[in-house]
Structure 1
């Protein structure tokens, strides 16, 4: 059992983010850590503890409730600190039943809770925990930063003590502007290695023990304005405001705020993506300008109207287009100055229900933690597993190494543009957007997306004619020149031709196109790989503790036994390509010979064929889903099976079963699914869900790049 206690130097250091980021970094190393916050500091007895609630949401994992703040204070006042610590140990042991490593969040010292530092020190002993000191850092003032760390380290026996494990600097100020990049996905290349080394060297001139082998600096996390951003929905209570239009307030984030005081013609430059516009409610020109900006595709964070009364309904009628597009509008009786002042005092804490921000902060912090330190602290004592976080981590790293060119036919779609910018800047893939460059630039400007200088944007109108002759040749006897010209108007067809001619390595589409739109040109122009007779698909299902592979859930309606065996083999090879050691269950409504019927016989025959073709694979069937996935059921129903109860690749007998199952698991269990990934084609083409998030597109691009690398090797 290993316990790591995170202890803050003071308030506002980002302790919650540090705890969640460390848990995520461990996940990326294949270790699922438990979490404990023994003592709550929420003064309201009915309030949820923020870190505990966010841990449950983000990691889909259970933990215990902390001891209420009132109870902590009462027991300390009565001199019952031993009893308090005994209860903390009991909570710790509850979590230890399911975890070999536990991250513990210490108390924040404050003017109210003056006992915090002493209680943290006794808690570390009670839990026999290694201690990580969490503090903020100022690059321009290393001595002051080091003093705060040094004062706290002494309470745990000093830097040479076996109790202290390292220092994590959060919310670091004074870094070069390009160091605090906007995080969207896992990428350890974000880690500021040279900045950390320089800062540690400057600290060691006065405090040589900080950054030494005994007390390493395990991470330098930049302050990021982008991650300290509240949603519009978080503002209303804080500024005593009422909604005129709530709109998209739960998702729009306040990146900056602007007071509009002078003539509107001098203020128009402030109407940009993510801007909160604050103005007196009698400024009808501001309301109309905000409405016009929204209608022009600029996603303002929202509008706060101050003082006086709410705008005339007739004025609001002029703004219906913006209101329908979700522009949040608030009214507060406070003055414009008071409103701005109140908003400047809004804390950086992540609200309990803001899971999106929680995920981004967690990944950002994780990417700045030294993975070598984690390996050392684990000391080979943990059996890594391919967790969802580890899977995504590997996905990004393998795609960076592959260096592939991926064409994106939906080149002017905003999510696709942002995903391409991320992939290009992080080296996940070299992306080619098929779109008019001026349209891409306009969309990027409206949405505050920074386009990398080497992002390739190709105007389809300038290259279509180059592919007509080749397309006619590839589809000889099936279309003529006029028909080819017509079909090439579709950018998916154009992108597929680029892939067919080896000008790119893979294609990703589907954010605005149907699966059929994406897949049909691939069937016609790319064709199946030499070893296969059909194209199928898999989804990677990112369950809380493991990644499952589901096939086929998107392409083949009713495969026969031969085809089903081929789908199993394709899916097993796909699993291997992404670091999953496949144990393949052929799913049926019957386990073994317990049932009869044509469908059961088809699955049994498919299992026989697959085993014969690939004796190197662990395959069993027919198996019911519970017999395949639940160890106790597997032992009961198929005691001699090497797959039952341990399966991680599930092959469904038909599309109806596969598609229904993946969607039921995805929705009911709130599971992220990556895919569908097509398999069996000569070159990789992958489809997106039309509801795909930017992150989903990034991961699909990474996945496509890895497929391309696998097929070329």
Structure 2
């Protein structure tokens, strides 16, 4: 069993933070208590640890993360030798290892460390820590043969020093050479070698980083604008028509502040999305007039406009020396980095080689990680009808960066592009469709008229109906142009699911459509049904909800043990409400005898072993229930919200079940993370059914 993983390198500039972040993502999918240890550290903030702490909610005391600083380490090594240095670092490491299931070790960075034979020191520390090693080799700007030679040398060097090399990563290679390098190294190395292409968005500084580096003054812009990546620099000196042709997506425009024509022209192009820019940097300490700034603010709200006192040439010299960094203030870069890692690393193979023993319980973070991984494993297309909604666009940004699924956004395409440009979101690879102008509209109208002819719907009426984004999105799913749909962040539940009832309808064997919430508690995931759709199901419907919910639970790796909830347990109570639950329980036992089910049962007896031992001591479900079926919507909806707010549970859903094809509803208060999770769930529901594990 691996207790620690040591990510190291052979020289500076390897971009290994991408690998360290990716390995941390893998470890947190398996265990909920991952420690971090950096043997040697420079003075100043540790950007990567702050990112890990923010992203993975680490509670580790920062004082325990570090062994000692490089200056003290060099002095100690010079005075008392390497053995003494290693001894002290081993003591600090074990103080962390005793507290955590697994430790991620961040090797030295080969930058101004004043340490002789740094590679050998990393190898020895890994050996003393009992850690498996993942060396990272940088390939930026190097020919393919040189990269391959360095990778082979790195493997030989660490193995010769006794290190247990788990895998090797070559990072930042030319994209066009990635496949060839991977193929040749795969044939020459005895361990897996993963090759990652150079990703410009990771090296690009954000506008905020440029602002701090240059000491620029912010004339216009908001936090989301300052978070944009400056993928290119375009210097404005030409007249406007020529200047506009030079603009590139994500560029930062550098121009003297008295060129009002270029300022307005660049922002007008951004507003039209042709192309969206990162922002403007005005030189010579020239500030546009208040009228021009007011126009700029209306043209492109949130787009940053900065000012510096120097002229363009010194400014350019400073800009070209800047490089983007992963840190807690650049969460979008972290998503890009993880997407890059997950696309080019066989994460299943690497996890198997890590041999980390999975925790016996499931945390909310582990559940959410698994959703994205499971969705990515068999890619599907999900349509999002609310394409101009800001939260949907931010969720789209995350899903694209993480490479989770294919997406279609519905709405006025010009408005979608403008809104995305204002937010600094790149929609490359995302399909945009306007139902009002789409060539699909007529065919959809004919199809809807056929489906609703019994209700008197004509093609003329249907032509108007299918222009509605929810109807249009549902028809895309029905016609196989998308695999699933997610809506509801600005639409009501009825507006979201009514088209599904009319067009997609229930799947064979399901009498009704119902819903569940995945309730992610501190150490487990429970499934609650039905908390969103059916107000007062009868016994047969309640039995159907139980069967559907058990199937949904199993689909997402939750072993179904069904509790049919009531205000009494066993035979202790009577009354119409209790009898409905008792009848539903018996119906499930008759039709699906393989399912483990108990009812009627009270909530405490269902989930608390000590209560179950008193009330139902012989039950295989009581005290261990994972699927909790509420007798009516009033009880279910209030209970899930009470648990969510009072116990701090993460509620994922509602997830609709019983439809032939997946359509899911969002709460109108949904957060970006809720939308991301629901899209991932929808993509998984659209995959062919097979056992899953969480």
| TM-score above 0.5, yes or no | yes
Deviation per CA, 1:202-228, whole angstroms, max 9, x where unpaired? xxxxxxxxx432xx2431111101233
Q: What secondary structure sits across from 1:349 in the alignment?
A: coil
Between the aligned partners of 2:577 and 2:93, the Cα distance in structure 1 is 54
- The answer as to whether partners of 1:139 and 1:199 remain within 8 angstroms in 2 is no
Q: CA separation of 1:418/1:26 partners in 2, compared to 1, >3 Å: closer, same or farther?
A: closer
The partner residue of 1:365 within 331, 335, 341 is: 341
Please state how far the C-alpha of 1:437 moved relative to its aligned partner.
Answer: 8.9
- Partner of 1:490 in structure 2? 468
Please state how far the C-alpha of 1:470 moved relative to its aligned partner.
Answer: 0.7
- The answer as to whether partners of 1:444 and 1:451 remain within 8 angstroms in 2 is no
The partner residue of 2:202 within 214, 222, 227 is: 227
Q: What secondary structure sits across from 1:120 in the alignment?
A: helix
Please state how far the C-alpha of 1:88 moved relative to its aligned partner.
Answer: 2.2
Q: What secondary structure sits across from 1:233 in the alignment?
A: helix
Correspondence list, 1:43-58, <5 A: 43-44=43-44, 47=45, 49-58=46-55
The partner residue of 2:546 within 547, 568, 584 is: 568
- Partner of 1:169 in structure 2? 170
> Does 2:366 align with 1:390?
no
Greater mean alpha carbon deviation, residues 691-700 or residues 529-538:
691-700
- The answer as to whether partners of 1:43 and 1:70 remain within 8 angstroms in 2 is no
> Does 2:691 align with 1:705?
no
Q: CA separation of 1:595/1:57 partners in 2, compared to 1, >3 Å: closer, same or farther?
A: farther
Between the aligned partners of 2:522 and 2:231, the Cα distance in structure 1 is 32
- The answer as to whether partners of 1:9 and 1:149 remain within 8 angstroms in 2 is no
The partner residue of 1:240 within 197, 201, 215 is: 215
- The answer as to whether partners of 1:665 and 1:671 remain within 8 angstroms in 2 is yes
Between the aligned partners of 1:564 and 1:609, the Cα distance in structure 2 is 9
Between the aligned partners of 2:523 and 2:600, the Cα distance in structure 1 is 25
Q: What secondary structure sits across from 2:315 in the alignment?
A: helix
Q: What secondary structure sits across from 1:261 in the alignment?
A: coil
Greater mean alpha carbon deviation, residues 163-172 or residues 620-629:
620-629
- Partner of 1:185 in structure 2? none
The partner residue of 2:662 within 684, 687, 710 is: 684
> Does 2:315 align with 1:339?
yes
Between the aligned partners of 1:303 and 1:584, the Cα distance in structure 2 is 59
> Does 2:294 align with 1:317?
yes
- Partner of 2:75 in structure 1? 77
Deviation per CA, 1:504-543, whole angstroms, max 9, x where unpaired? 7654444654332221122234433443332112344567
The partner residue of 1:555 within 533, 536, 552 is: 533
- The answer as to whether partners of 2:38 and 2:65 remain within 8 angstroms in 1 is yes
Please state how far the C-alpha of 1:163 moved relative to its aligned partner.
Answer: 2.7
Q: Please report the TM-score for the alignment, with normalisation by the length of structure 2.
A: 0.79
- Partner of 1:132 in structure 2? 134
Q: CA separation of 1:361/1:598 partners in 2, compared to 1, >3 Å: closer, same or farther?
A: farther
In structure 1, runs of 5+ residues without a counterpart are 180-191, 202-210
Between the aligned partners of 2:331 and 2:648, the Cα distance in structure 1 is 13
Deviation per CA, 1:329-352, whole angstroms, max 9, x where unpaired? 222223322333323222332122
- Partner of 1:301 in structure 2? 278
Between the aligned partners of 1:406 and 1:169, the Cα distance in structure 2 is 33
Please state how far the C-alpha of 1:165 moved relative to its aligned partner.
Answer: 2.9
Please state how far the C-alpha of 1:316 moved relative to its aligned partner.
Answer: 1.5
Between the aligned partners of 1:408 and 1:471, the Cα distance in structure 2 is 23
Q: CA separation of 1:277/1:130 partners in 2, compared to 1, >3 Å: closer, same or farther?
A: same
Q: What secondary structure sits across from 2:371 in the alignment?
A: helix
Indicate the RMSD between aligned Cα atoms, in angstroms. Answer: 4.6
Deviation per CA, 1:666-709, whole angstroms, max 9, x where unpaired? 78999876543321224433335666578557525523422799
- Partner of 1:141 in structure 2? 143
- The answer as to whether partners of 1:231 and 1:249 remain within 8 angstroms in 2 is no
Between the aligned partners of 1:367 and 1:630, the Cα distance in structure 2 is 42
Q: CA separation of 1:32/1:13 partners in 2, compared to 1, >3 Å: closer, same or farther?
A: farther
Q: CA separation of 1:34/1:266 partners in 2, compared to 1, >3 Å: closer, same or farther?
A: same
Q: What secondary structure sits across from 1:262 in the alignment?
A: coil
Q: CA separation of 1:428/1:222 partners in 2, compared to 1, >3 Å: closer, same or farther?
A: same
Q: Please report the TM-score for the alignment, with normalisation by the length of structure 1.
A: 0.78
- Partner of 2:330 in structure 1? 354
Greater mean alpha carbon deviation, residues 626-635 or residues 118-127:
626-635
Between the aligned partners of 2:39 and 2:611, the Cα distance in structure 1 is 39
- The answer as to whether partners of 2:86 and 2:125 remain within 8 angstroms in 1 is no
Please state how far the C-alpha of 1:296 moved relative to its aligned partner.
Answer: 2.6
Q: CA separation of 1:504/1:251 partners in 2, compared to 1, >3 Å: closer, same or farther?
A: closer
Between the aligned partners of 1:594 and 1:307, the Cα distance in structure 2 is 84
Between the aligned partners of 1:706 and 1:130, the Cα distance in structure 2 is 35
- The answer as to whether partners of 2:67 and 2:92 remain within 8 angstroms in 1 is no
Q: CA separation of 1:653/1:269 partners in 2, compared to 1, >3 Å: closer, same or farther?
A: farther
> Does 2:94 align with 1:94?
no
Q: What secondary structure sits across from 2:167 in the alignment?
A: strand
The partner residue of 2:242 within 266, 272, 292 is: 266
- The answer as to whether partners of 1:7 and 1:106 remain within 8 angstroms in 2 is yes
- Partner of 2:19 in structure 1? 18
Greater mean alpha carbon deviation, residues 77-86 or residues 520-529:
77-86
Q: CA separation of 1:608/1:51 partners in 2, compared to 1, >3 Å: closer, same or farther?
A: farther
> Does 2:476 align with 1:515?
no
Deviation per CA, 1:379-412, whole angstroms, max 9, x where unpaired? 6966898743233222332456xxxx86666688
The partner residue of 1:538 within 516, 537, 543 is: 516
How many residues were matched structurally?
667
Between the aligned partners of 1:219 and 1:227, the Cα distance in structure 2 is 18
Deviation per CA, 1:520-574, whole angstroms, max 9, x where unpaired? 1222344334433321123445678665434333322444555444322211112
Between the aligned partners of 2:135 and 2:60, the Cα distance in structure 1 is 23
Q: What secondary structure sits across from 1:109 in the alignment?
A: coil
- The answer as to whether partners of 1:435 and 1:460 remain within 8 angstroms in 2 is no
- The answer as to whether partners of 1:40 and 1:69 remain within 8 angstroms in 2 is yes
> Does 2:184 align with 1:198?
yes
Greater mean alpha carbon deviation, residues 618-627 or residues 525-534:
618-627
Q: What secondary structure sits across from 1:14 in the alignment?
A: coil
Between the aligned partners of 2:113 and 2:152, the Cα distance in structure 1 is 23
Between the aligned partners of 2:446 and 2:31, the Cα distance in structure 1 is 51
- Partner of 2:41 in structure 1? 41
- The answer as to whether partners of 2:605 and 2:623 remain within 8 angstroms in 1 is yes
- The answer as to whether partners of 1:652 and 1:658 remain within 8 angstroms in 2 is yes
Q: CA separation of 1:67/1:506 partners in 2, compared to 1, >3 Å: closer, same or farther?
A: closer
- Partner of 2:115 in structure 1? 114
Between the aligned partners of 1:593 and 1:39, the Cα distance in structure 2 is 62
